Structure 1
């Protein structure tokens, strides 16, 4: 789950791209999803028009480790093209059919029944069947590094060619989120049998693009699937893509990416640095597209450390943070300040909780100093750093190699010094940050998360899963477990709101901002990004020049 520069689920961040779409309309006790009037009909490919054909080139920020969505820790547009999801969400976030034409959840929430379309074929020409869907879900549950996301699956059945039943040991509401992405995409069973663990080298599935050509360190290219007739229901083009080929180029250096875009060799430039936006806007044929991330950046505490067991220390640090300069100077205005545990782009966000958090932790240097003094920390020697028993209030701030985060860190360093907290900035490669965080060998850190379901709080804050902030609160554990098993959407959101209130009063972190991702497009038309699935509708894009 736009694809963001995040690590895998088990690494330092949980990407909105990695983790599919928002679970904002999970089913009730016995609800079914069906095709709705007004959605685009499933039809054959549109007649060729003047803008059809050509090669669409995208500058992608990260090269995927594999094209097998069940083995990767990084899932985005570059390795999703051969695949389709079973369900999707429209541009307003409503859960909709895709390869599954309908779905139903049993009254006890333990059985999900999917009825598949009959006209879908794999890129080999073989029909998609319930057995192939069953095999794909079983494989994910067995081999994927992210298999826990599928929940407590007990067994899967395919009673006929178009029906799949997934049985759970207990109700699992986030499963809708899994059905929306390509983790559980159906694989061609013959290719899977042929390639096995090496399926990602030559994948065959049902998607709009196929036959990948991989040039490690440089690019991955696909050709269109000419028989494609089962596009996302909200796409204008229900047939094969307009372009003949799509190429993802992996250019790590920002200056190189910008230069290539200016030369006209790139049509879509993802993750545009905010400092380049004004310059790119002046290029003829260029459009700037923005979207808010389904996640946020935060200043995390290692709550295992003795000093952070005093809530006054954490609250003082939170009050010392002024988010406006961070947004304006570190991010050139392309972000939104956030105070509560969930941003507005993730279901479960509560305006009441956000306002409460903002009132509690709005920028207040005097109050922050007062809290530190109550905790016994004052500047006894006049060096500008608060101390207690001769020990200064000094922390290492750990962060990955990201220029924007480094700018944020420098601002935080200056702000925290105002209340007498000394910050030592430590920038490391991602692997080092990951290793130190898991081992608890850190104090403060700057990281990010993204998931389009409030279950992200379970993955970050539940005692057994809290591998970054190392947080533990029995009441929070109880509520987050309840959120996973509550199938009624309205009731489920109330559960998360209760948990969020505790996380505000006993903060495991300091929420900072939601980034606004910037994409530049040039000489194309039809570009659209679904804000709830982060899917770019490549099939609708035509090259204009």
Structure 2
């Protein structure tokens, strides 16, 4: 094994990679507790007084959960609450650097083909059992079987529980993305007790983890209830991202789905809820003048997209996809969908990152005559085209309706289908059963985690296949040198722009608001509300 100094070099390398992505009932009940941005969002927790324990915190979110099994979920509305319940081996900090979570340190062999993790000792699951190496082995092996992004772990040959607190990942080849794959919050590789899925008939219906809050109940369409886990074993270090010191103060957290943004805001203003996510850009100025509401607004790497369905006509035809690309006016989409608070996206790779190159700056420019000519060459005769989107996020609908109007200008017969969030995910997004789909994607620690998931033939949902793309993406996984990887993802973006599996459309801001009596809350540009280190002072 290398000396730990070598490992710090490896970790530093990974951290440099990650920094480029920011400027985006089965469990036992807890015992009794032991005795004893903007307009305020930039105030540190230390400046907000002494923390107080107790109380109930109600969060108004724009979409309900779709499932309770994070290994099987790619949905943000599942991750937001359940990442308070379950944790990963390593995680990301505020700036997308990789930091320890359930592992306290790791080291890599001289040949780069094995990575050894030393686990934190004395970390309890919500069912009272201690988290150990066999739980990690079980969890990651299960993830590699059932997860949507299991392809990200294609470099893993085997996992060894060397002893109770040591886990060794044996890799097929050195990898530049292995740590980022473990830390990726999208479809997260959370650690759960060995055998839990089998005990719950093959899927997770009562999640158990090591997080600061434990699952209580889910009443679909109404609420998800979490309880404070008094035995929570917090990581050390400064609080940052999903990691560092975390303390649960409130006794109960309720996530209440309120899909209509105006209703969600009214619930905040009337005191029905304490925190509201996904505030509409149009309401920002109004909230900035409120004396009882604190507005938290951050620049974000969340990016909107337009996906093309390859599984049925007409967008299995490249000329049809090109016609759409030349019909789009992305600045108009930004202005309508974000009230000009966002910005145009030409690539999933954010402009202020180290990965950004000229390849990511190139984009189609609106040319209506060229778009009309491409439609003619494709043989389009006015057949109905459907844009599928969801009502959970206002900017999705606004973007879809704006795109509809733009496509009508070139003679396309376009309708917009607005579905409930769960239906959009299961019946359209994850099945690939659509012609055009509008939604958005949260940031990832590494560009491979966007491109591989959405364009590799082994993992994408929309049916896109190109052996050249697969070859580039496979090379990106095995390459360690950052300069070489940067060039690979430039080539990937060039090919994506040619093939048009999807196009990025805009970067959307993170806008949240909460009652002034809610203290310690810090918004995050990654778009995840974090309810540890938060207390109620009233």
TM-score, normalization by structure 1: 0.77
2:78 maps to 1:85: no
Alpha-carbon RMSD: 3.8
Partner of 1:217 in structure 2?
221
> Which has the larger displacement, 286-295 or 268-277?
286-295
2:412 is aligned to 422
| Alpha carbons of structure 1 residues 332 and 390: separation in structure 2 relative to 1, 3 Å | closer
Q: How big is the shift at 1:201? A: 4.3
8 Å Cα contact 1:208-1:224 kept in structure 2: yes
Tell me if 1:399 matches 2:388. Answer: yes
Aligned position for 1:528: 522
Q: Do 2:90 and 2:98's aligned partners in 1 also have CA atoms closer than 8 Å?
A: yes
Closer/same/farther in 2, CA of residues 179 and 439 from structure 1, 3 Å limit: closer
Q: Closer, same or farther in 2 for the Cα pair 1:444/1:120, shift >3 Å?
A: closer
Q: For the residues of structure 1 that align with 2:287 and 2:50, how far apart are their CA atoms?
A: 29
Deviations 1:157-199 (A, max 9, x none): 111222101223344544323422484333244x838944377
Pair 1:500 & 2:500 matched: no
Aligned counterpart in structure 1 of residue 468 of structure 2, from 455, 469, 475: 475
Q: In structure 2, how many angstroms separate the alpha carbons of the residues matched to 1:312 and 1:286?
A: 50
Residue number in structure 1 paired with 2:510: 517
Indicate the SS of the match to 2:81. helix
2:98 alignment partner in structure 1: 95
Distance 1:335 1:131, change over 3 A: same
Counterpart-to-counterpart distance in 2, 1:141 and 1:462: 16
Partner of 1:446: 438
Q: How does 1:248-259 map to 2 (within 5 A)?
A: 248-259=255-266
Residue deviations 1:195-254 (CA, integer Å, cap 9, x gap): 443774444332111252333332222222223342463318836322222221222333
> Relative to 1, partners in 2 of residues 1:90 and 1:473: Cα closer, same or farther, differing over 3 Å?
same
- Contact in 2 for aligned 1:398/1:433 (Cα 8 Å): no
1:457 lines up with 2:457 in the alignment? no
* Deviation, structure 1 residue 304: 7.2
Q: Does residue 238 of structure 2 align to residue 234 of structure 1?
A: yes
Please list, as runs of the form range in 1=range in 2, the aligned pairs for 1:345-384 lying within 5 A after superposition.
349-357=355-363, 361-363=364-366, 365=367, 368-370=368-370, 372-373=372-373
CA distance in 1, matches of 2:313, 2:128: 61
Tell me the equivalent position of 1:276.
283
Conserved? CA contact 1:172–1:484, under 8 Å: yes
Structure 1 position 266 matched with structure 2 position 273? yes
What is the distance in 2 between the residues matched to 1:183 and 1:401? 23
- Distance, in Å, in 1 between the alignment partners of 2:529 and 2:425 is 31
1:153: which partner in 2?
Answer: 156
In 1, distance between residues paired with 2:227 and 2:64? 19
1:463-515 deviation digits (Å, cap 9, x = unpaired): 454432x4343332221111122233343222111221232344444431122
In 2, Cα distance between the equivalents of 1:50 and 1:443? 51
Contact 1:28 1:487 in 2 (8 A): no
Are the counterparts in 2 of residues 90 and 234 from structure 1 also a CA contact under 8 Å?
Answer: no
Indicate yes or no: 2:520 matched with 1:541: no
CA–CA separation in structure 2 for the residues paired with 1:477 and 1:146:
15
Task: Give the 3 Å change call, closer, same or farther, for CA 258–434 of structure 1 in structure 2.
Answer: same
- 529 and 113 in structure 1: CA distance in 2 versus 1, 3 angstrom threshold: farther
Conservation of the 8 A alpha-carbon contact between 2:281 and 2:511: yes
Offset of residue 270 of structure 1: 1.1
Q: Which runs of 5+ in 2 are unaligned?
A: 1-5, 16-33, 37-48
Partner of 1:31: 10
Q: Does residue 333 in structure 1 map to residue 325 in structure 2?
A: no
Shift of 1:520: 1.2
Choose which of 178, 202, 209 in structure 2 pairs with 1:205. Answer: 209
Q: Which of structures 1 and 2 has the bigger CA Rg?
A: 1
CA distance in 1, matches of 2:357, 2:383: 34
For 1:211 and 1:410, the matched residues in 2 are separated by 38
Hey, what's the Cα distance between the residues in 1 that align with 2:358 and 2:221? 47
In structure 2, do the counterparts of structure 1 residues 172 and 117 end up closer, same or farther at CA, with 3 Å as the change threshold?
A: same
Aligned length: 488
Distance across 1 between alignment mates of 2:292 and 2:529: 19
Q: Out of 430-439 and 153-162, give the one that drifted further.
A: 430-439
Q: Which residue of 1 aligns with 2:28?
A: none
Contact 1:298 1:513 in 2 (8 A): yes
Give unpaired runs (5+ residues) of structure 1: 1-26, 37-44, 378-386
- TM-score, with normalisation over the residues of structure 2? 0.77
Equivalent residues of 1:483, 1:492 under 8 A apart: yes
In structure 2, what is the Cα distance between the partners aligned to 1:160 and 1:415? 60
